[in-house]
Amino acid sequence: MEYGICNLAVVPLRAEPNERSEQVSQVLFGEAFEILEWQEHWVQIITAYDNYKGWIARLQVNPLGHIAYKQIKNGHVPQTHRAITQAWKKADNSVLYLPVGSSLVFLEGDRCKIGHETFTIVGEIGASTNIATTAKSFLNSPYLWGGRTHLGIDCSGFTQSVFKLHDIKIDRDASQQAKQGTEVTDLKTVKLGDLAFFENKDARIIHVGIMLDQKHIIHASGRVKIELFDEKGIYSEEQKRYTHKFCIMKRYF
């Protein structure tokens, strides 16, 4: 087996080995992956964090040893909690602007190491206080299919990223997340952090959001926003209609 690690701020993960292919997710700084297939310009990978498959550009692959990969996959890795954190690259004194949830691998003091490269992290790395604070930090972030950052995020990337910052691991896609956790059958018992899932006319899970309380949900739809929720679904005061049909509620902690 061969392994790699992201040494750039963020790398698009594509469905197919083509620059025109859709972005299905993103690989963030410090995240490790297993290499499945090499092509001339592309590499198929599966991410260590959530076992998500996709293609990244060959020039964006930084090799990682087997032992280091296992340490990252099986250990607890500190991560950035701010929308943007500066990381100074020692080799050429250049700066990377790391998105929230970047992994600070092999961190010692304010320095993390990726292979032979050393990065100095500027500023505090402290965690958010609670799920609501973390979720609301994404307010007004634009919707971006496959996105995982404040600069662009999709609905399941939003829920996964918020949970990741609180050391709660869930899968990448809404349909996968809906198969995890414990079902909340009584909506009167909904609490902060429960995930609400929504379906299309074919009863397929297509959307997810985080409950703030029994009547309010924060989710990524056009942008990250807070809207009203009831047993029918999400009601948009902007559009004066229900925009998402409720399917199921799940709890993860």
Residue type, 19: E
Q: How far apart are alpha carbons 222 and 167 in whole angstroms?
A: 27
Please check whether the domain covering 2-122 is classified as CATH 3.30.70.20. Answer: no
Domain limits, the chain: 2-122, 131-251
| C-alpha count within 13 angstroms, C-beta hemisphere, residue 244 | 26
Q: Which residue has the higher pLDDT, 102 or 115?
A: 102
Q: How far apart are alpha carbons 194 and 249 in whole angstroms?
A: 7
Antiparallel, parallel or unpaired: β 216-221 and 223-230:
antiparallel
Return the residue matching tokens 């040893």.
65
- Mapping DSSP to helix (H, G, I), strand (E, B) and coil, where does residue 153 land? strand
Strands (E), the chain: 2-5, 10-14, 23-28, 32-38, 42-47, 53-57, 62-64, 84-89, 94-99, 111-114, 117-122, 148-149, 152-153, 182-183, 195-199, 205-211, 216-221, 223-230, 233-236, 241-251
The CATH architecture one would assign to domain 131-251 is Alpha-Beta Complex (3.90)
Residue 175 has pLDDT above 80, yes or no: yes
| pLDDT at residue 129 in the model | 76
Q: Catalogue the active-site residues.
A: 155, 207, 219
Residue 195 has pLDDT above 80, yes or no: yes
| pLDDT at residue 115 in the model | 86
Compute the C-alpha angle 136/87/90, nearest 5°.
Answer: 175
Each residue's pLDDT tens digit, 235-250 = 999 999 999 999 999 9
Each residue's pLDDT tens digit, 109-166 = 999 999 889 999 998 777 777 999 999 999 999 999 999 999 999 999 999 999 999 9
- Mapping DSSP to helix (H, G, I), strand (E, B) and coil, where does residue 208 land? strand
